[in-house]
Amino acid sequence: APDPFARTDSGIEGDVFVTLNVQDNTSIRHWMMDIIDKTGDILRTYSGEGDPSGDITWKIAAEGEAEQVPAGGEEGITLKLTVFDEGSNATVYEKNVPIDILLVMKNGRKYISVPNIIFGAYKYTLDSAGTKFLNRNNESLDRVARIYKKYSGYGLILEGHALDIYLGTPRQDREEKILVPLTQHRAETVKAALVKRGMDESRITVEFYGGLHPVASVTDRTVWWKNRRVEFVMTDPE
């Protein structure tokens, strides 16, 4: 369908509704529909026996389903339908569905599905994690700036976070005295970068949490970098 999204109460497009209408000269034995992101990963699969004609709803913003939401972007997602008839002949149909914003519901908040801004250890400049992350950081900032040019009435919360390897130990309190101001600096850095890209400063709120909310294990050094981050939260118009 040309407009496959339903609007939520806040005006942001939400669930994907897909209507299937399949015709075959012989009886349809089995069907399968994959929802594929722009990297080729399968996000969700629906399947069944017999004629698949009817409606399918993909609830892309369900609480706790963050890992199943694609990164978004102008490329959107691909719907791939494969139908097998009684003679075991397969027919494949693919359709691209453009998406300009996806939100991930976590703890009652709407996180914009773009890569987080990543920083080096105990640092708060955009280039502090190296060239690879600098390029990715700039891509995320450009993406968020474009989103807010279109959704001009919405607000943005920037959540600053850090890695606390002493989380849950007696040293945690002392470490947080360093990490809380560090995460404030990180969020302020991102705010300045968005304002430089033309975003209205009055629409941006900065929050900072030290190392209290890790997204990756603090016992695994290979994923420590994921915790040194700023995340984007969209808020409804006042």
Same domain, 139 and 231: yes
Quote the domain boundaries for residue 155. Answer: 114-235
Of 97, 128, 161, which closes a domain?
97
Report yes or no on 151 lying in a domain.
yes
d(CA 110, CA 88): 44
Report yes or no on 90 lying in a domain.
yes
Q: What integer best gives the mean pLDDT of the chain?
A: 82
Same domain, 143 and 88: no
Local structure of residue 86 (DSSP, 8 states): T
Report yes or no on 106 lying in a domain.
no
Same domain, 121 and 178: yes
Local structure of residue 27 (DSSP, 8 states): -
d(CA 82, CA 67): 24
d(CA 36, CA 25): 28
> Is it the case that residue 159 has pLDDT exceeding 70?
yes
Same domain, 141 and 178: yes
pLDDT tens for 104-124 read: 788 889 898 889 999 999 999
Same domain, 131 and 193: yes
Report yes or no on 102 lying in a domain.
no
Report yes or no on 225 lying in a domain.
yes
Of 47, 62, 97, which closes a domain?
97
Same domain, 129 and 21: no
Same domain, 90 and 140: no
Q: What are phi and psi of 3, to 5 degrees?
A: -130, 80
Report yes or no on 146 lying in a domain.
yes
Q: Which tops the pLDDT comparison, 150 or 52?
A: 150
Taking CB atoms within 8 Å and a gap of at least 24, the contacts of 36-40 are: 36/77, 36/78, 36/79, 36/80, 37/70, 37/71, 37/77, 37/78, 38/70, 38/71, 38/73, 38/75, 38/76, 38/77, 39/71
Report yes or no on 105 lying in a domain.
no
| pLDDT classification of 59: cutoffs 50, 70, 90 | low
Same domain, 82 and 46: yes
Q: What is the mean pLDDT of residues 28-34?
A: 87
User: Comparing C-alpha atoms, which of 55, 67, 75 is closest to residue 15?
Assistant: 55
Same domain, 130 and 191: yes
Report yes or no on 160 lying in a domain.
yes
Same domain, 170 and 227: yes
> Is it the case that residue 64 has pLDDT exceeding 90?
no
| pLDDT classification of 21: cutoffs 50, 70, 90 | low
User: Comparing C-alpha atoms, which of 115, 108, 52, 99 is closest to residue 236?
Assistant: 108
**Could you give the number of structural domains in the chain?**
2
Q: Which tops the pLDDT comparison, 222 or 102?
A: 222
pTM across the whole model: 0.68
Of 97, 123, 152, which closes a domain?
97
CATH code of residue 55:
2.60.40
208 touches 186 (CB < 8 A): yes
CATH code of residue 192:
3.30.1330.60
Same domain, 221 and 118: yes
Same domain, 179 and 227: yes
